[in-house]
Amino acid sequence: MPELPEVECVVRGLRQRIIGETIERVTVHLPGIVRGSPLDLAEHLPGRTFRDVRRRGKLIIIGLDRGLSLLCHLRMTGQLLCLPPDAPQEKHTHVIFHLTSGRHLRYRDQRQFGWIQLAETDQLAGHPQISRLGPEPLEIDREAFVRRLRTHRRQIKPLLLDQTALAGLGNIYADESLFRARIHPLRRASEVSAVKLNRLHGAIGEVLREAIDCSGSTVEQFRGADGESGSFQDHLQVYDRQGLPCLRCGRPVVKIRVGSRGTHVCPRCQRAPRNR
């Protein structure tokens, strides 16, 4: 958390709120959040105007004028909020971008795993956090998706979580997509039929779009750019439902470990592979 839908919702919210805004000054309360020198933010950002906001995988890319971009990864508990200046400054607010309109763009992060970095826009394609990413799950076509997964002998859930294989999926939406496609997360990708991989491609797109329409899932601390929570957690079919009846067949959902990650599965709808 946050995963692709949550990051996409933050990007859309920021796009509505900060495009055309100009940075007046920057306050850094926790230098460790900034990759590179925190002094670069104070030196290079005042007077810069926000030009665009986009997403690549789980990474937020904020384009500024005169060839600079801000990269932001929310990791587990990061929040990027556009708020009026009189909004109470919550605990764990580590960076504040003061805008000439009076509003603030604030970065909060309780666990401090996220980060912000200043980069040159024309060098983004070679940035290690971008160049290594696999295709976007909402953009890759069905045939390319099937070809890509069938070349791997890895268990399918860890493969879906590998950002070099597919960019943006995390634990929640991998579990939900595999459930809808009726694929057990321990099954090796190369052993899954093309029919089921086609079904998985459709399930991933369906789940991600539904989650975006619900402003993401607030399972822990996720909030959008306006501070509002998401609601897709109310529509989850297997994730965090261990012990509850499967919504499809009624058998209790179980929680197992797959690649060191807690994984939710219906043992009847998602048949486990033998000898695993």
Work out the average pLDDT over 141-146: 97
Which H or E element spans position 130? helix 128-131
Q: Where are the domains of the chain?
A: 4-130, 142-265
For the chain, how far is it from start to end, CA to CA, in angstroms?
A: 28
By annotation, the residues acting in catalysis are 2-3, 58, 261
CATH of domain 4-130: 3.20.190.10
pLDDT tens digits for range 211-236: 999 999 987 778 888 888 889 999 99
**Tokens matching residue 269:** 């709808």
pLDDT on residue 227: 85
Q: Which helix (H) or strand (E) holds 13?
A: helix 4-18
Residue 113 clears pLDDT 80, i.e. is over it: yes
Task: Confirm if 33 and 112 have CB atoms less than 8 A apart.
Answer: yes
* pLDDT the model gives residue 275: 66
**CATH match for 142-265 among 3.40.50.1820, 1.10.8.50, 1.10.540.10, 1.10.3720.10:** 1.10.8.50
Neighbour order of strands in the sheet with 23-28: 23-28, 93-99, 104-109, 78-83
Report the chain's mean pLDDT, rounded to a whole number: 95
Is the pLDDT score of 276 beyond 60? Answer: no
User: pTM of the entire structure?
Assistant: 0.94
- Residue pLDDT, tens place only, 30-70: 999 999 999 999 999 999 999 999 999 999 999 999 999 99
